[in-house]
Amino acid sequence: MSRRVITFGTFDVFHVGHVNILERAKQEGDYLIVGVSSDKLNFSKKQRYPVYSESDRIKILKSLKFVDEVFVEESLELKADYIQQAKANVLVMGDDWMGKFDDMKKYCEVIYLPRTPSISTTEIIEVVKSL
pLDDT at 107: 97
pLDDT at 115: 80
- Condensed to tens digits (0 to 9), the pLDDT of residues 64-77 reads 999 999 999 999 99
Tens of pLDDT along 11-58?
Answer: 988 888 889 999 999 999 999 999 999 999 999 988 889 989 999 999
Neighbours of 90 (CB within 10 A): 21
pLDDT tens digits, one per residue of 81-103:
999 999 999 999 999 899 999 99
User: Which of 104 and 1 is assigned the larger pLDDT?
Assistant: 104
What contacts 80, CB < 8 A, 6 or more positions away?
Answer: 104, 107
pLDDT class of 128 with cuts at 50, 70, 90: low
pTM (2 d.p.): 0.88
Confidence of residue 120 (pLDDT cuts 50, 70, 90): low
